[in-house]
Structure 1
Amino acid sequence: MSTARALTGAVLLDLAVSPLFAWDVVTGVLGRELGVGHAVLAGVFSVGLLAFMLGVLLGGRAADAVAPRRLALVALAGTVLGLLGSAAASSVVVLFLTFGVLVGGSTGLGYATAVRVAGTVASGRGLALGLVVSAYAAGTAVLAPVVSSLVGAVGRAATFVVLAAALGVLLAVAAVLVPGERPARTTREKARATRPVVALWLAFGLGSAPGLAAFAQAGNLSGAAVALAVALLNVGNFAGRLVAGPLSDRVGRRAALHANSGLLVLACVPLATGATGPVALVALLLLGTQYGALSALIPAATSDVVPPERFGTTYGRVFTGWGVAGLVAPVTAAGVAGLVGYGVVYAGFLGLAALSWACVAAYAR
């Protein structure tokens, strides 16, 4: 199978497994229908995030041994069943199981499969990974307004059914395009590169925490309309993913990671000094770019230090750094900001940025 065809399948796969981050669009109507508060529905998303992380962790290991097509079909079945179950859900407990566990875990498996396909191409891995992970960001950006319109027009149940049908078709096409053969073992397995992998795990978690917190509290940070602040974060996220991977093929992964660390510091400084308005919006655009770029650079850097036979397993472990940050950073930042303000929170994030940069330096050595 040609590399171009396999990569196209991986891009479509990542495009289709992005409904998790459109959850907030349906929480309003779900709260009214089920009679539950925002905090309970936020718990569904937290479970989904945890299941997504576990899906990437376990899916990465599976992707090293199982044909990508089979894993894509499993992701298809789980995603469609989870969305249809969410359409029929009459209680929040069902939503925890259908959307949280089933959709979260299945989309994590699909994400791991797509990244594994891109991260083991013979050459141009930065470009391949940039295309694949940017597709995930694009899917989220497209789904949110579409779901919002559908909920208003046809209601919650029909919206989930339409999503299940559309994403099911897209996942079926992706499954046809990705390789149907088990991954080949072309080299002897090398000793595990423990030190650089630990450095990348820490760099991913620490370096993504400010961006993850910003996505959750964009309006409060900028002092501007929430929609505009989130849009700028998403634009930066998509652009960073798309550009950083191929750029790292040219300048080297180490140089690209150092530049990303510098961009994180640059983005956090205005937010730490309490800037609002246009300055804060520019800072959020830079922060989104840094976050997106890191999401492409970390798997590319991982592929440089482990053999293809272990890439899926190793990246699944590295990805848990992002998962821990996603579970902890937004909640902690909101709680601390309620006491001392977001300026102090982002001053603290400058410290995390420095630690992340030190981890990048450790990887570079």
Structure 2
Amino acid sequence: MAPLSIALVCFANMFSVGTIYALSALQGQLPRLVGISEAWSFVPFGMACMGLSMGVATCASMIAQRGAYATAASGTTLWGLAVIGAGFFLSRVNFEPMLLCFLLGGLGVGWTYLAVVVMVGRAFPNLALARSAIGPMGFSSGAATCFFLSSIFELSIVDAEILGRALTRAGVAFIAVGGATQLMMIPGYTINDQSNSPKNTPLSRRERFLSILLFFNALPGMTAFAALLPLVSYYASERQGDSMTLLSYSMLALASGGVLAPTINLHLGARNAFVVLFCVRGAFLVLLSQFEQSTLGLCAFLTILFAHGTGFSILPGLVKAKGIPSELFHHSYGRILVTWGVVGILGCVLNTAISSSIGTMSVASLVLGLLMLSFGIVLYFVPTPKVGFLPSWVSAEYLQQIGRLAES
């Protein structure tokens, strides 16, 4: 298959499952449509994140057995079926079965995301921009499209039946993407050396470190994605224009993070890049906790989205930096990505606590800001003898010496 065709297939799948980041558009209408509290409206995203963790944890074995294309096709199809199911139950004002649908849908999102990362890595081994940008651009485009359509059709006034039908149509479109991906699958595009894949082994020190890094990097973003509409409505209440339209344009920050990640990584190095991302987000969040201004709130929000996309784009390179065989990359990265879903659940819990009292918004911003600043400072000053995370002037001999000392 031509590289352009592979890129389009990968983008289409990321676009489809990236709509998980737009669940806030539905979340904002659930209290009105199905009669639940605002705190319960965050649960669908939390269930999807739980499924996401399960998906990335089980994806490696699927890729080994069926190949990346078939795994991505299965994940996108499952997400489409889940969206159809959610629309069906929403039209009947039945909230509880919707949660099961989003749990299964999150499972599909995890399959697709990791499989597409593998597909892009193989198709563009020497093109860092393609590997970095397709994921964030797909997710941001999918979410932006949902917010844009929500603005056009004014979800705030539609009933449950109309919105349910809209979800059903979206689910059918996602299934079509999954089916087309399956039809375009490259024969024999599988990982046949399953005997070398480690099973049920504990996380290595490097995987634990990268999981912690992912936890702190994804925490502000996943907390924001769990409640995009309430957050933007709260901080942009003084501005003209529809919140959904503003959310559509804000997704450009997420895409920009993926596009600029290779340049940032090249000039700063992975370690310094993450230090800057943590400290800038932390500074904005701490300031926002003290001065709740509209402009400052939007700047903090856009910075969080940009850093979210940048961090996810840099992370696969850090996983590969140790020189692990290509057939084991998906196994190691999948174990690390479990943290992604866990952070999403934690973000929902945090938003549930905030919804009980709007006065806690500044407290949550302060706590997140201090966490970001603290981790950024620790990351800068504490030695981490890991390949790909040290300054370029550190020699290979120094790394070997540090490694021998650590093992002893």
Q: Look up the match of 1:102.
A: 104
Q: Aligned runs of 1:289-328 on 2, under 5 Å?
A: 289-305=306-322, 306-328=324-346
What's the CA shift for 1:317?
0.9
Matches within 5 A, 1:238-317: 238-245=255-262, 248=265, 251=266, 255-273=269-287, 274-275=290-291, 276-305=293-322, 306-317=324-335
Inter-partner Cα distance in structure 1 for 2:180 and 2:352: 40
Shift of 1:352: 3.2
User: Residue 234 of structure 1 aligns with which residue?
Assistant: 251
**Alignment partners' CA distance in 2, 1:222 and 1:344:** 19
- Superposed, 1:172-187 pairs within 5 Å as 172-184=179-191
| 1:143 aligns to 2:170 (yes or no) | no
Structure 1 gap ranges (5+): none
Checking the alignment, whether the CA contact within 8 Å between 1:233 and 1:289 is kept in structure 2 is no
Q: Distance in 1 between matches of 2:381 and 2:14?
A: 31
* Aligned length in residues: 361
The code of the aligned residue for 2:145 comes to V
* Whole-angstrom CA distance in 2 between matches of 1:220 and 1:101: 28
Cα separation, 1, equivalents of 2:338 and 2:40:
24
Which is worse superposed, 47-56 or 143-152?
Answer: 143-152
The one-letter code of the counterpart of 1:175 is Q
2:366 maps to 1:344: yes
Q: What residue in structure 2 maps to residue 164 of structure 1? A: 171
Q: Show the counterpart of 1:86.
A: 86
After superposition, the Cα gap between the structure-2 partners of 1:327 and 1:340, relative to the gap in structure 1 and judged at 3 Å, is: same
Is the contact made by 1:269 and 1:350 (CA closer than 8 Å) also made in structure 2? yes
Q: Rg larger in 1 or in 2? A: 2
TM-score w.r.t. the length of structure 2 is 0.76
CA positional deviation for 1:73: 3.3
**What displacement does 1:200 show?**
1.4
Q: Deviations over 1:253-286 (max 9, x none)?
A: x803422321320232133133434344333322
- Supply the distance in 2 between the matched residues of 1:34 and 1:284 (Cα, whole angstroms): 29
More helix by share: 1
Distance in 2, matches of 1:176 and 1:74, equals: 12
* Alpha-carbon distance in structure 2 between the residues aligned to 1:206 and 1:321: 10
Distance 2:59 2:78 in 1: 13
Q: Report the CA distance shift for 1:286/1:93 in structure 2 as closer, same or farther (over 3 A).
A: closer
Give the aligned partner of residue 133 of structure 1: 135
Identify if the C-alpha distance between structure 1 residues 183 and 339 changes in structure 2 by more than 3 Å, giving closer, same or farther. Answer: closer
SS at match of 1:183: coil
CA distance 1:258–1:279, change in 2 (3 Å): same
Letter in 2 for 1:111: Y
The residue aligned with 1:111 is 113
Question: Are 2:15 and 2:142, in contact at CA under 8 Å, matched by a contact in 1?
Answer: yes
CA-to-partner distance for each residue in 1:101-139, whole Å, 9 max, x for gaps? 222211221112111212334623632322321212221
Task: Quote the Cα distance in structure 2 between the aligned partners of 1:189 and 1:255.
Answer: 31
Contact 1:75-1:110 within 8 A present in 2 as well: yes
SS at structure 2 position matched to 1:48: helix
SS of residue paired to 1:120: helix
In 2, Cα distance between equivalents of 1:330 and 1:229 = 22
Distance apart, 1:300 and its partner CA: 2.4
1:39 CA displacement: 2.4
Q: Deviations over 1:116-165 (max 9, x none)?
A: 21233462363232232121222112122224545556812210121022
Contact 1:22 1:147 in 2 (8 A): no
CA distance in 2, matches of 1:61, 1:272: 42
Alpha-carbon displacement from aligned partner over 1:62-111 (angstroms, at most 9, x marks no partner): 2233222322332243223222222221311210112x222221122111
Q: Equivalent of 1:195, from 198, 205, 213?
A: 205
> How far apart are the structure 2 equivalents of 1:301 and 1:357?
16
CA RMSD in angstroms comes to: 3.4
* Range with greater deviation from structure 2 (129-138 or 67-76): 67-76
- Mapping of residues 19-98 of structure 1, within 5 Å: 19-89=19-89, 90=92, 91-98=94-101
Q: Which runs of 5+ in 2 are unaligned?
A: 391-408
Q: Secondary structure in 2 aligned to 1:65?
A: helix
